[in-house]
Amino acid sequence: MKTCVDYAEKLALFYDGELSEAEKEEVLRHAEECPECSRLLKAYKMIFEEAESLEIPPPESLHGRIMKAVETEKVRKTFFIKRKTTEKICAAAVILLMLGGVLRNGELLSFFSDNKALSSDTVNFAAGSEGKAGGAGAEAKSIEAVPKDSAQAATLSGSEKGAGVNEDKQVQNIEETQQKPDENTRMKTATGPASRVEGSSPVSESATDGENGASMKFGIAAAKEKTVLCPDKVPFEGEFAFVMVASGSTLTDELSADKEAKSGKAVFYLMKKDEKIVSDTEDALIKQGFEVTYFNDGKDYIDSNSKEFIIEILAE
Amino acid sequence: MTEESQIIKRVQNGDEAAFEELLSAYEKKIYNLAYRESRNVQDAMDITQEVFLRVFRSIKDFRGESSFSTWVYRIATNMCIDFARRAAKNNAVSLTVYDEDGEAADMDIPDDSSTPETYYEKTELRREMERGLRMLSPEHRHIIILRDINGLSYLEIAQILKLEEGTVKSRLARARAKLASFIIQGNNFAPIQSKEKEGRRGF
């Protein structure tokens, strides 16, 4: 004859609805005869009925908080450059692509959330005379961005083209400043686990007014630290694009699953307010043999009220 | 292709809105799992966020070998275990007590997440169940949350915990027996008996 112990599991699982009719009847028959098991069965019923009420709604802020964290993650991914430790870092350069717009001092450098120390490896960009924002916008006409397995930084130049573009918009060249040999060497041979690119010193120290407009230094650090900080906010006002080039054997850590990243191709980042300029730049880059991937509109991290873009460009 | 797998595909292709759909579908369940394990709203939010960040980071690797639900719950379960380990490490005083069977369980500590208002809104029975859950061992508590609060099937639980279905049933039965025993010993059994007289639901 079966004892209470034999019914223990079936009693506990009775309200799961998984027992056969015959099993249920058997359990109920036993419970009718056994006050102890009858009591247990009632307790199980209570658990069954009340457990659902233990489910509580999450705090209202949770959803937004997670989505924000995910967006941060996406932005972080784009700036998270990791170098294979077994390979030399070959080159990293920050290049500004000025496209018919005005760069206000301070805005650019606030791009990076950490404006503290940086190496003296700098890149100058020279803005052309103040072009008028709006209209058809300028377009990157020729872009020479050749990722190399050397410390040579790529140079991009954007120029206007196409009908409807104001004549006073000028070709704007971005030229890398001459790097001192020792700095160059440092970039080449840095043996840290990854590269870090960060903003330069405050604008007041690095920006000068050239005859054609603003001229600002922009800095990159050689491979010292692991991550590249993502911007908290990029208050772009004028029409310009920003391209960060990290060429050579750099890897984006989170994108390492991507075959392109694995192959160590150059990764470019471009941020631009004007959608047309972004698309024009993209066209130009594609013509140059780059694969362009949009992966974040960076809305909370650039300007929630306007459309900026970060473009990942993988060079062939 | 199910609707969910289409959404997953979109997320894998970088569609953030699709990710939000997945989040909406699972956040409550995962939050509850985390809350019951951590007993603290802030920790539960942190754990839930970490779970979904992990989902976001790893979803490209999700091949559909298990159901998405199982995959998410497995991540959440591991996170909860990690949390429990960290919490145990950080606790200067051991909060583990041993019952008469020699089974480890957490010491009953007041739930600091309840404001007085919400506390008094809870029924006596619910409070008793919450206390009972806290007294269970982590394994027993986890399986009751998955089954009775989150409503997962034996099979799903088996996949999440990587157990045989039979083991799930026996563990669940033991966990409920302990919880039932706790409730019977409490003061809240009588009202339920009177509720019983008013007529049984279901069965």
Beta strands in B65-192, from DSSP E residues, in sequence order: 96-98, 104-106
Helix (H, G, I), strand (E, B) or coil at A149: coil
Chain B CB contacts of A69 under 8 Å are 49, 52-53
Whether B49 and A42 lie within 8 Å, measured CB to CB: no
Q: Which residues of A touch B189 (CB under 8 A)?
A: 39, 42-43, 46
Q: Does B118-203 carry CATH code 1.10.10.10?
A: yes
B180 contacts in A (CB within 8 Å)?
Answer: 12, 40, 43-44, 47
Whether the pTM exceeds 0.80: the reply is no
Q: Does B42 touch chain A (CB under 8 A)?
A: no
Q: CATH number of the domain at B1-107, out of 2.60.40.10, 2.102.10.10, 2.40.50.140, 1.10.1740.10?
A: 1.10.1740.10
Query: Which whole-number Å values give the CA distances from B77 to A308, B81, B104, B159, in the listed order?
Result: 38, 6, 19, 12
Local confidence pLDDT in tens for the 316 residues of chain A:
678 888 899 999 999 988 999 999 999 999 999 999 999 999 999 899 888 888 899 999 999 999 988 887 765 544 333 322 222 222 222 333 322 222 333 233 223 323 332 222 222 222 222 232 232 233 322 223 333 333 233 223 233 333 333 333 322 332 333 333 333 322 222 222 222 233 322 222 222 333 332 222 222 222 222 223 333 333 333 222 333 332 222 223 322 223 333 333 333 344 444 455 556 656 665 665 555 555 433 322 333 233 334 444 443 3
Q: How far is CA A231 from CA A66, A266, A294, in A?
A: 19, 21, 17
> To which residue do tokens 């009220």 refer?
A305
- A125, A131, A158, A165: CA torsion to nearest 10: 180
d(CA A251, CA A230): 16
Q: How far is B169 from chain A (nearest CA, A)?
A: 8
Domain spans of chain B? Answer: 1-107, 118-203
Contacts 24+ apart (CB under 8 A), A17-24: A18/B154, A24/B203
Nearest to A12 among B52, B60, B176 (CB): B176
Q: How far is CA B76 from the centre of its chain?
A: 9
Closest partner residue to A44 (CB to CB) among B45, B170, B176 is B176
> A-contacting residues of B 124-183, CB under 8 Å?
125-126, 129-130, 133, 144, 147-151, 154, 169-170, 172-174, 176-177, 179-181, 183
* ipTM computed for the complex: 0.76
